[in-house]
Structure 1
Amino acid sequence: MKKLLSNTGYIVKSRTITLALTTLCLVLLLPATATGKTTQDYQPSAGKLDANAGRSKELYVEPDFRFDTFKSMTVDISVVDLNGQPVSGAIALISNIPEDVLDLYDQRLEQKVLIGIVRSDEHGRVYQALELSSSVKRVLLELKIQSENNKVIIELDDTQYISHFFQVE
C-alpha cells in the first residue's frame, strides 16, 4: 500500500490520501448554511398563519409565547379606619372579573370568580404571595366590611404586584 510518488520524492500513505480526499469532498459539498455564511429565516409563511396545523412541524408559536400557565403575584393590602387606626381581622375577597369590566356598578361583576380569601393582621396589613392563572387580567378586591370604600377593581400588569389602601368607616 505504501508507494513512492515518483515526481515529488515524498512517501505518502494511502490512508493519508483517503483522508485528504474525503475532507476536500466534504468541504466542497457542504451547503452554505453549514459554514455559517447565511442565516436561517424562522418566520412562518403567511399561509401557515391562517391554516390549521395538521402536523407538529406545521405549528407556529409567537416569539413571546410562554409555557407558564400561572403567574405569581404579591398581594399587599392595608386597611385602616377613619382615624387612621389599623383594622385587624378584616376579610378581603380577591376575584377574577371579565377583562372589559371597568366600573364597580357593571352588571358583569356578577360573573366574578373567587381566587382567594385573605385576612388582615393586627397591623391592618395583608402581605401574601398568590398564584393566579396567566389569563387573569383584572381582579376585584372586596372587603367584607360595611363601608362606601370596600371594593376596588385592579388591572394586573407585568409588575406582579397587587396593592391597595382601604380606609373604611
Structure 2
Amino acid sequence: MNVKKLGFCIVFGVLMIMTACGTGDQKTENGNGTEKIETPANQPETPETDTPIEDSQNPPKVNDEQSESTAFRNISVSGENGEYVVNGEARVFEAVFFYSVEEGHEYLIEETKVTADEGAPAWSPFELKISIPEDQLPINGTLTLELYEKSAKDGSVINETFVKLEEFGF
C-alpha cells in the first residue's frame, strides 16, 4: 500500500516539475544567428504594430462580430434619438427573420417579422427603419436591437445577434 502511494507521489511530482518547466517563453534559433522568443500557446501574442486599441467606451457603429452568427453580418447603424436605420445582410431560412428592440427592462418594439429578398444560402441585404417615440426613450439605458431566426423544428429563437442602437445618460 505504501509503495503505491510513494509511486503516485513520485509520478505526480515529476509531472508538476515538467509542467512548471514548460510554461515560460521558449527561445529558438531562427537560422540567422538571432534568437526568437516564442509565446506559449496559452498566452496571447502582443501585436508588433502601432495599431491603436479601440476604446471600449466608444465602440464603432459597425457590428462586424457576426463570426458567432451564421445568419447576420455587416450590420451598421445610423441615426439617433429614436430614429435609426440599420443595414446589413441576412442568410436566413426561407428569407424570414425577426427583430425586436429593448432597453433592458422592457421591449419598445415587440417581435417584428421581416422578409428578405432571398433565403439561405444566399446573403440578402436588408434595411430596417426603426422609429421609437421620444417619450419612450430611456433617460439612462441602452437601446438594443435583437435580430434572430426561429427554428423550423420547434419555433425556438436561433441565431440571435444583438446590436447597440444608442446609449442614453452615460
With the length of structure 2 as denominator, give the TM-score of the two structures: 0.25
Relative to total residues, which structure has the larger strand share, 1 or 2? 2
Using CA pairs under 8 Å that are at least 6 residues apart, name the structure with larger relative contact order, 1 or 2.
1
Q: Work out which of the two has the higher radius of gyration on C-alpha atoms and give 1 or 2.
A: 1
